[in-house]
């Protein structure tokens, strides 16, 4: 039936002039109409010359029997309505009368919000790329007195993780991205202050499923720009913060969303703003002539704007609008890293981190009804192993590579590669700070 069918409408009128024999036919009824209420009656087929059929041959939209005497008139992909089929007016009209309008949205609707969780994980990977972006040794090797030239730094990473998002839903996310920034150091009475404008790009492909076998997937990408700053004190304490904002684009698709029990291809694409930032407090210092210990705590937060999911439904040929709410996810990390200087040019490091994620639950709404919340809430553990090519007084290049593994709520691995290079521009472009006596 058409998506705009209303009470009293006639769907099909036969005008052949003779009765129609449908005794051996099985009739399936389907509509995406959002205007049907309890008690509404639709004339499915009208023939003034008569309809010859067994009413028991009229079946619900799906082959699946629901109850003993209830037939489904499908309501898009969001929910099902139940109807009774009858022959009326001297067997001239086949009608469907809506008996029950189901208010609860189908579990498959929760999958429409999974892109928001995918981009959250991709943003977190972007934050991980900018952590430890400018270790102090790079500055100390040049023995600065007031300011340094800008450090051009770049980082790339790839991550593959699996996350349980609740209500039988599991998200598998593969993401990658790169950032680039220009950092500068300024010496002060406490130590060294570093700051850098930074841009970050990330993209992801994901697939998701729920316990009844319905699957979806798609891709997302974002671009952000912002600022990161750190104060490094002489006693080893440091304080760091960043903020980035930008835009994300996401695309969702599925080939087995169900209208009744008939699978249909569905898809939507949308753009929304994203914001992310973190604060960090830590201490870093030598615990032996060759070993350096870094202990830290990090709080990060992501904001992902609401998504207008105009879902195109191939089976019915119509489009339905779903509202996916904005979310503010939060993460606390506590960790330690031990770095060992092998020689003047190489060092290796290993680290452990505990991560707790909370907030950021996402709701999908359709015609004043909402799905259960889905989100990422729980604890994960991280282990990292890495190698660094150290800068020297004669070479301002630094290379950092690391392999990271995750267990717990978030499972998987990531690989990170970072490169930093100093560009020694003419001294007149970097005037020294003037200190008043």
Give the three-class secondary structure for 429.
Answer: helix
Q: Is pLDDT above 70 for 85?
A: no
Kindly report which listed range (46-50, 90-94, 135-139) carries the lowest average pLDDT score: 135-139
pLDDT level of residue 434 (50, 70, 90 thresholds): very low
Rounded to whole angstroms, how far apart are CA atoms 134 and 184? 10
| Chain mean pLDDT for the chain | 80
Other beta carbons less than 10 A from residue 333's beta carbon: 22
The pLDDT-based confidence of 423 (bands split at 50, 70, 90) is: low
pLDDT one-digit tens code per residue, 261-275? 678 899 999 999 999
Residues of the chain with CATH 2.40.128.130: 107-429
Residue 213 confidence (pLDDT) above 70? yes
Task: Give the span between the Cα atoms of 136 and 192, in whole angstroms.
Answer: 9
Query: Region 197-210: what's the mean pLDDT?
Result: 92
Residue 73 β-bridge partners? 81
Predicted confidence (pLDDT) per residue in 291-325, tens digit:
999 999 999 999 999 999 999 988 877 788 999 99
Residue 5, both tokens: 């069918």
Structural Rg of the chain based on CA atoms: 30
In this prediction, residues 364-385 reach a mean pLDDT of: 87
pLDDT beyond 60 at 240: yes
Stronger pLDDT, 34 or 260, i.e. the higher one: 260
- Could you give the CA distance from residue 300 to residue 281 in angstroms, rounded to a whole number? 12
Query: Can you say whether the dihedral through the CA atoms of 159, 163, 165, 169 is positive or negative?
Result: positive
Q: What is the pLDDT of residue 100?
A: 63
Residue 198 pLDDT > 90: yes
How do residues 64-78 score in pLDDT, each as one tens digit?
333 334 455 555 677
The pLDDT score that the predictor gives to residue 432 is 38
Tokens of 303: 């904001």
The pTM (predicted TM-score) of the whole model is 0.76
Residues facing residue 279 across a β-bridge: 241, 299
In 260-326, at which residue ranges do the beta strands (DSSP E only) sit? Answer: 262-286, 291-304, 307-313, 318-324
Q: What is the model's pLDDT at position 42?
A: 81
Residue 136 dihedral angles phi and psi, to the nearest 5°: -65, -25
Q: What is the largest CA-CA distance in the chain?
A: 109
Which residues contact residue 418 at a Cβ distance below 8 angstroms, ignoring those fewer than 6 apart? Answer: 129, 133, 153, 154, 155, 156, 398, 399, 400, 401
- pLDDT bucket at 27, cuts 50 / 70 / 90: low
Highest mean pLDDT range out of 77-86, 400-409, 411-420? 400-409
Q: Which CATH superfamily is domain 107-429 in?
A: Autotransporter beta-domain (2.40.128.130)
What average pLDDT does range 340-362 have in this prediction?
90
Cα distance between residue 255 and residue 267, in whole Å: 9
pLDDT value at residue 425: 40
pLDDT number for residue 30? 58
Span 137-144, average pLDDT: 50
Structure tokens at 133: 């972006």
Mean pLDDT for 107-115 is 88
Q: What is the mean pLDDT of residues 364-378?
A: 83
């Amino acid at each position: 039936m058409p998506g705009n069918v209303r009470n009293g409408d006639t769907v099909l009128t036969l005008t052949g002039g003779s009765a129609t024999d449908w005794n051996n036919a099985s009739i399936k009824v389907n509509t995406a109409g959002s205007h049907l209420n309890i008690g509404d009656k639709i004339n499915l087929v009208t023939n003034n010359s008569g309809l010859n059929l067994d009413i028991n041959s009229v079946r619900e939209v799906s082959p699946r029997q629901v109850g003993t005497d209830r037939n489904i008139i499908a309501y898009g992909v969001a929910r099902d309505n139940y109807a009774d089929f009858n022959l009326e007016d001297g067997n001239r009209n086949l009608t469907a009368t809506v008996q029950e309008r189901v208010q609860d949205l189908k579990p498959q609707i929760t999958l429409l919000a999974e892109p928001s969780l995918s981009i959250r994980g991709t943003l977190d990977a972007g934050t991980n790329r900018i952590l430890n972006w400018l270790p102090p040794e790079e500055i100390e090797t040049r023995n600065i007195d007031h300011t340094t030239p800008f450090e051009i730094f770049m980082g790339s990473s790839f991550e593959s993780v699996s996350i349980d998002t609740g209500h039988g839903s599991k998200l598998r996310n593969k993401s990658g991205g790169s950032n680039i920034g220009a950092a500068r150091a300024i010496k002060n009475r406490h130590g060294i202050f570093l700051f850098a404008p930074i841009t970050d790009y990330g993209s992801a492909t994901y697939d998701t499923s729920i316990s009844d076998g319905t699957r979806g997937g798609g891709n997302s990408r974002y671009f952000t720009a912002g600022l990161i700053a750190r104060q490094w004190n002489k006693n080893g304490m440091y304080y760091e913060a960043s903020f980035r904002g930008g835009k994300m684009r996401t695309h969702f698709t599925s080939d087995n969303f169900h209208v009744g029990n008939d699978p249909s291809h569905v898809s939507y694409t949308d753009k929304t703003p994203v914001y992310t930032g973190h604060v960090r407090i830590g201490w870093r210092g030598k615990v032996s002539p060759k070993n350096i210990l870094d202990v830290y705590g990090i709080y990060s937060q992501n904001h992902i704007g609401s998504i207008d999911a105009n879902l195109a439904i191939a089976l019915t040929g119509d489009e339905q609008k779903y509202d996916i709410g904005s979310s503010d996810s939060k993460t606390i990390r506590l960790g330690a890293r031990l770095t060992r200087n092998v020689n003047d040019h190489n060092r290796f490091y290993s680290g452990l981190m505990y991560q707790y994620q909370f907030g950021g639950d996402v709701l999908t709404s359709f015609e004043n009804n909402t799905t259960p919340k889905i989100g990422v809430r729980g604890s994960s553990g991280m282990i990292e192993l890495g190698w660094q090519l150290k800068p020297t007084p004669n070479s301002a290049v630094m290379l950092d590579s690391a392999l990271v593994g995750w267990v717990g709520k978030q499972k998987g691995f990531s690989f990170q590669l970072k490169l930093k290079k100093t560009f020694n521009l003419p001294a007149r472009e970097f005037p020294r700070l003037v200190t008043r006596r």
